[in-house]
A = this chain, B = another copy of it.
Amino acid sequence: MTSEYDAALDLTPAEVPGRWAGRFSDGWSIGQAVNGGLVMAVAVEALHRQLAEQGDAAHPDLVAVSAFFLTASQPGPVVVDTEVLRPGRTLTTGQVSLQQPGEDGTPVPRMRSLVSVGALTGTPARRQPPPVDLPAPEDCVGSGDAPPGGLASSTLLQRLDLRLDPSCVGWAVGRPSGRGVMRGWFRFADGREPDPTSLLLALDGLPPVAFELGIPGWAPTLELTAHVWARPAPGWLRVEVTSEVLSDATMEEDARVWDSSGRLVAHSRQLCGVRVPEGWAPAG
């Protein structure tokens, strides 16, 4: 059985060299767009397929990706263009661009990214932040338990088994903590185990930290850079997202993901857009 995630990464070679054709189903949307984590995963998958086609089997794992989101991706066909910039011994770096046909058929650029792939090991990092402390998954708040708060229409949440730390869900009942922290457990709802590329969904899959700062509404990712440190062990992932900078119209979010063995497997930083309510003041 193909997992929902693997089905979403299905790509076929197009006639233009380096080009791949895919489709965003309507199962990965959040707000008015396809989730950025999935968009990035499709980009990385295209580079992997391109390298495989070129006979490069030495760089099976995502190591680093920086994605600039140009317009919001929509369910429907997607065209993915890859360019290998530098084939290397330890790292190979490429560029991946995504576009979708607009209403009149003109291609609309969605996202452009730079991606480095290599070979990760199971070796623990020599230095890493300790895994975030979380209540057991059964003591956390599942997507099904969470009051709407604008997420009810998200099809993405049906693909994920997300268990939020009860101390980070005050926003859902109108009492955001003001701390700028979002934490929880993450795995795919259908049991698909994590791999380096799918960690992008964990890094970008929790509700925006802005919610816990009392800033509701859509917080679209403008730019996200992720580093992957190890191949994740099977099982639950722990995710913590924090923020230390909020400006007038943008903020940053730092995400960390640990696997079930306690290793930091990935982290990311993103710049996202926010609409700060009139009269907003930092809590605490």
Contact = CB atoms under 8 A, between A and B. Distances in A.
Interface of A: 63-64, 66, 68, 70-71, 85-86, 90-91, 93, 95, 109, 112-114, 116, 121, 123, 125-129, 180, 213, 222-223, 225, 227, 229-230, 243-252, 264, 267, 269, 271, 276, 280, 282
B68 A116 contact: yes
Contact of A227 (B109, B213, B227, B252): B252
Given A86-B71, A109-B85, A227-B271, A116 B222 contact: yes
Given A126-B276, A229-B247, A245-B264, A85 B68 contact: yes
A85 B66 contact: no
Contacts of A271: 63-64, 227
A93 B70 contact: yes
Nearest to A215: B126
18 contacts: A63-B250, A64-B222, A64-B271, A66-B223, A68-B114, A68-B116, A85-B109, A91-B222, A112-B114, A114-B114, A123-B248, A125-B247, A127-B213, A128-B244, A129-B245, A227-B245, A245-B264, A245-B267
A232 to B, nearest CB: 14
A246 B125 contact: yes
Given A66-B223, A85-B109, A271-B227, A128 B93 contact: no
A178 to B, nearest CB: 10
B90 A129 contact: no
A109 B243 CA distance: 35
A129 B230 CA distance: 29
B64 A126 contact: no
5 A-B pairs with the lowest CB-CB distances in the bound complex, closest first: A66-B66, A127-B246, A225-B225, A70-B86, A126-B246
A277 to B, nearest CB: 11
A264 B68 CA distance: 23
Given A222-B64, A247-B229, A271-B227, A282 B114 contact: no
A81 to B, nearest CB: 12
A46 to B, nearest CB: 17
Contacts of A71: 86
A68 B280 CA distance: 37
A68 B66 contact: yes
A136 to B, nearest CB: 26
Contacts of A64: 68, 222-223, 271
B95 A112 contact: yes
A64 B91 CA distance: 24
Contacts of A280: 126
A245 B127 contact: yes
